[in-house]
Amino acid sequence: MTRVLVFEVWGEYGHFRKHYTTTSPLTFSIPSRTALTGLIGAIIGLPKEEYLGYFRRKRAQIGVRLMAPVKKVRFSENLIDTKKAGPMMNEIKNRTQIQYELLKDPRFRVYFAHEDPDIQETARDLLSTHRSVYTPCLGLSEHIANFMYIGEYEAEKKRSEAVEIHTAVRSDEVGSIIFEPGLQYISEIMPVEMADDRTVTDYSEIIFERNGNPIRAENTLYWELEDGEHITFL
């Protein structure tokens, strides 16, 4: 049995940059596991230079569920050259206009369990009292996030011939997916772990349904929470 913290996070906009885009940044439809480690690290106050080491897959389990349909918009933003900026904003001459793809009204449910009971207790205390050490955001610092504590639940590991999974799943850790008519499935290759120098060490194909509907899978290991949710970890 594992104790899993559950909370929701949302905002007006979000951007989780796809690693292969440059001049016109595109966003993943859901936060990657690496983005979620940054979000949790900010809430509990882990230093930016150190938090990755606390969230290796062998130490921390993190899952995510889509709670609102995926909607994307594009905005043009003026980026300024801060290295050559003067003491006053009106002295900045170098600007570059970049078109960003953003998530509109994103909302996610996050599942978190850690082998260190002190880290889990700190996260529970802060989430349950709606506090954070650093400001949580949805990818970029200008996209400030709100969050809500759902609870802490016992989770039991199970295997089933056919089960509905409510979270996004790793394609390499599920049996076979039963694709149902009328649903819109999204598959994205996402980073799931980074070294301390922020070099990505593991990618995986992540699959979820565009409107947040559960995914039916066969012969799959999953975790069943006390509230009836079936989840997997990224």
pLDDT tens, residue by residue, 137-175: 999 889 999 999 999 999 999 988 889 999 999 998 888
Torsion of CA 16, 19, 25, 28, to 10 degrees: -40
pLDDT at 178 over 80: yes
Amino acid 52: pLDDT: 84
3-state secondary structure the chain: CEEEEEEEEECCEECCECCCCCCCCCECCCCCHHHHHHHHHHHHCCCCCCHHHHCCCCCEEEEEEECCCCCEEEEEEEEECHHHCCCCHHHCCCEEEEEEEEEECCEEEEEEEECCHHHHHHHHHHHHCCCCCCCCECCCCCCECEEEEEEEEEEEEEEEEEEEECCCEEHHHCCEEECCCCCCEEEEEEEEEECCCCCEEEEEEEEEECCCCCEEEEEEEEEEECCCCEECCC
Amino acid 143: pLDDT: 94
Amino acid 199: pLDDT: 84
Q: What is the pTM of this model?
A: 0.91
C-alpha 228: how far from chain center: 22
| Length of the chain as a residue count | 234
Task: Tell me how far CA of residue 160 lies from CA of 97, 169, 219, 231, in angstroms.
Answer: 51, 15, 6, 13
Q: What does the alpha-carbon distance between residue 132 and residue 45 come to, in Å, rounded to a whole number? A: 7
**Between 187 and 176, whose confidence is greater?**
187
Q: Which domains does the chain have, with CATH numbers?
A: 2-81+94-231 (3.30.70.2660)
**Between 46 and 7, whose confidence is greater?**
7
Amino acid 195: pLDDT: 83
Q: Which amino acid is at 12?
A: E
As a whole number of angstroms, the longest Cα–Cα distance in the chain is: 65
pLDDT tens, residue by residue, 179-207: 999 999 999 999 999 888 888 888 999 99
Neighbours of 10 (CB within 10 A): 17
